[in-house]
Amino acid sequence: MLTEVTATRYVTPLREGGSLPGIVEADDLGTYVMKFTGAGQGRKTLVAEVICGQLGRALGLRVPDLVSIQLDPVIGLGEPDQEVQELLKASGGLNLGMDFLPGALGFDPLAYEVDPIEAGQVIWFDALINNVDRSWRNPNMLVWHGELWLIDHGATMIWHHNWPGAGGWAEKPYDASDHALARFSPEVETAAAALAPLVTEDLITAAAADVPDEWLVDEPGFDSTDELRRAYVEALLPRAATVHERIILGEPSRPRVSQAPGWLTGRHEQKGARA
C-alpha cells in the first residue's frame, strides 16, 4: 500500500503537463505533484504511474516517492481557473501524489550528459514497461541536485488498454530511436544483465499491490481486483528476460522545424529573408 495523506492546500496548477497536474500540500507537511483521478486520461494512467514508479525505484532508478492523496475538492474553491475547478470537483477521494522536487530542471539532452550505463538502464526499463513517453520531444525526466530523476509513467503498459490482446505484447520490439537517452551510447545489454534478474514475480506483485483498489475495480473481464493485479504480473514478467533483444536503436526521426516566426525564436528565417 502507498502511504496515504490528505491534501490540505491546493497551491497551483502545473501548466506544463497534459493532464493538468497540480501542486498540493498535505497533512504530512509534504508537497506533492498531484495527478487527478478526474483527469481525461483516466485512472489507468494512475495505475501505470504506481506500478512502473514502484518497479523503477525497486530497480534502483531515481523515481520520486509516490503517495495516495485524499482530496476534498473544497480546498480548491479559491482557484480561479474554471478548468482546474472542474478537475478538482471530479477528483474527490483518492488521487496520486509524487514527491515534488523543488527547483528541478527539465532534462535537456543537449545540456546534460548521461553515462552509457545509466542511459542503458533507463532505456531497458522503458522497454520493459513499454514507455512511449520519454522521447527527446518530451523527456519526462528531471535533473535535480545534479542527478537524473524519472517522472511520468502514465503512458506505459499499453496492453492494459486492451487486455484480451495483452499476451501478444511480450514479443513486440521496442523502438527507442527517439528516446531522450538514445544519443548517450546506452549499454542495454549490461543493463539487462544487472536488472532482468531483479524483476521477479514477487517484485512485480508487490508493485501491483500498491495500487489502490478503487482504481482497479470493475475492469471488464476481471472478477476481482486481485485477478487484475495478477494480469499485470503476467504481462510484465515474461518481458524481463529477453526484452533487451528487441530494443531498436536506429536513427532518430528528424526534429520538427519550429513554426514560430524568427523574431520570436531569435532564429533568422532562411526563406525569403532579406539580405
Ligand X SMILES: Nc1ncnc2c1ncn2[C@@H]1O[C@H](COP(=O)(O)OP(=O)(O)OP(=O)(O)O)[C@@H](O)[C@H]1O
What single-letter amino acid sits at 242? T
Q: Is 19 in the site for ligand X (CB under 6 A)?
A: yes
- As a residue count, the chain comes to 275
Piece of 83-91, 145-153, 161-169, 262-270 that binds Mg ion (CB under 5 A): 145-153
Residue among 65, 130, 84, 137 at smallest CA distance from 106: 137
Residue list 67-126, contact with ligand X (CB under 6 A): 98-101, 104, 106
Q: Provide the CA 35 distance to its chain's centre, in angstroms.
A: 11
Query: By CB under 6 A, how many residues form the interface with ligand X?
Result: 21
Asked whether the CA dihedral 61, 63, 67, 68 is positive or negative, the reply is negative
Q: Provide the CA 166 distance to its chain's centre, in angstroms.
A: 20
DSSP 3-state assignment of 126? helix
Q: Is 140 in the site for Mg ion (CB under 5 A)?
A: yes
**Which is closer to Mg ion, CB of 155 or CB of 196?**
155
Q: Is 152 in the site for Mg ion (CB under 5 A)?
A: yes
CA distance 69 to 62: 21
21 binding partner (options Mg ion, ligand X, none; Cβ < 5 to 8 Å by kind): ligand X
Residue list 29-68, contact with ligand X (CB under 6 A): 33, 64
101 binding partner (options ligand X, Mg ion, none; Cβ < 5 to 8 Å by kind): ligand X
* 235, 47 Cβ separation under 8 angstroms: no
Q: Which residues bind ligand X (CB under 6 A)?
A: 14, 16-19, 21, 33, 64, 98-101, 104, 106, 133, 138, 140, 142, 151-152, 154
Give residues in contact with Mg ion (CB under 5 A): 140, 152
